[in-house]
Amino acid sequence: MHLPRFISIGLPAKATNRYLFYGVLLGLAVSLTTTSVIDYLQQRKRRQAEFIFESRPIELRSDEVVEGVVGLIGNTPLVRIKSLSDALGVEILGKAEFMNPGGSVKDRVALRMIEDAEERGLLHPHTGSRIFEGTVGSTGISIATIARAKGYEATIIMPDDVAEEKVKALLALGAHVERVRPASIVDKKQFVNLARERAKAFGSEPDSAHSLVAHHTHLIPTASSSVLVTTTANEALADNGLMSPKQEREFALKPRGFFADQFENRSNYYAHYDGTGPEIWRQTSGWLDAFVSGAGTGGTLAGIGQYLKSQKKDLFVALTDPEGSGLYNKVKHGVMFDRKEAEGTKRRHQVDTVVEGIGINRLTHNFELALPIIDDAFRVTDAEAVAMSRYLVQHDGLFLGSSSACNLVACIKLMKKLGWNDGQRIVTILCDSGTRHYSKFWNDDYLAKANIPVDMGIIDRLINA
């Protein structure tokens, strides 16, 4: 049996080689053309995005004067982290929140909580009213700063193991500071719970610290279950009680105790959804690929993340979490438990880390708003955070605090995991400067006693991994 002639006929060897050569050449040309077209379209998209926003360079103008300390809050620069960006092939941008007048991102939150309370008639300045808050430091400093500027007093309840310089700053700002042992949120003596109780008891007994004689206090109804307001006015508000205009004025002028509750107060979230998020969107002209942030109360991550995702649905949002915190496990595994929670293994009662300002072992209402938009989470060790802080000083002259260092470590881990090296933009928060961390995070003797190494090589190895 013979095969058909057209099947048995083969191409000459020279012709075959020629056709193969042309095929490879054509494939290479198509590949190069496709890559060029994609690059062109991406650049065109970026240029078009830039035209949407009016250019507004950082500048000083003779006709731009802000009103007091409050006018200095927000509109912080977005700075390119040169050493990391150049080494990694991506653009790592930090929102310089340490440039707020109170020295941290918490200025935004404190201002929004106080102004929202004023707008709702819960607080009135220059009436002897006092703001109470439980905090590890930065929010307290921000509240004390703004309280002074607006005509309020401040009482701050904080764990007794926070950096000493935070306490000194609060005292210098005229705040009444109460330091307590770190404890679980279920403990009545936990610092947040104590702040609530102090607000509830405001003015009910003589207290030289508050400069008040004893009064009967009354709770004022609020729209939030977390915010608590008491008044020393003799007239209690009945459900349907009516007061004359004169009584209303007298009632408003009586001293009040206001528990701000940054952890559950929705004003925390809106400070970033209405403020920080839109600022970042404008500063990047809408060109960003990821947002990275740690979480303590959760307001920063939730507010900025939700806003940016509303503008760009494929934006990658990542959580930074220090050792001992349960948020990483909540995002990755749906549970809060951390192996360092085992009894007898912790240096601290709250979160077992030298990092201050981020990390927590309970779910807050503000963090719950972030859960639907978080795409991934990255654990950052104390050693990595310490190494990053020293690396930034040496290579960029940036003297940053512990949470800022954590955020930047997570930026590296994110781009390595996603395989990014082609100019993608990652935005993070530079929460505060190193000036609040001399006694612990920036104290090599303290770190040595806590068995935390100071090794900048950790960052070099992360970069080159």
* CA dihedral angle for residue 319, residue 325, residue 330, residue 331, rounded to 10 degrees: 20
Contacts of 391 (CB under 8 A, 6+ apart): 83, 456, 459
Distance CA 265, CA 273 (A): 14
Determine the distance from the C-alpha atom of residue 301 to the mean position of all C-alpha atoms in its chain, rounded to a whole number: 6
Catalytic: 254?
no
Place of tokens 């240029």: 47
- Of 45, 82, 106, 168, which is the active-site residue? 106
Q: HSE-up of 325 (CA within 13 Å, CB side)? A: 32
Amino acid sitting at position 261: D
Distance CA 441, CA 153 (A): 30
Amino acid sitting at position 101: P
Distance CA 171, CA 144 (A): 9
Amino acid sitting at position 257: G
Q: Which residues pair with 230 in a beta bridge?
A: 219, 257
Catalytic residues: 106
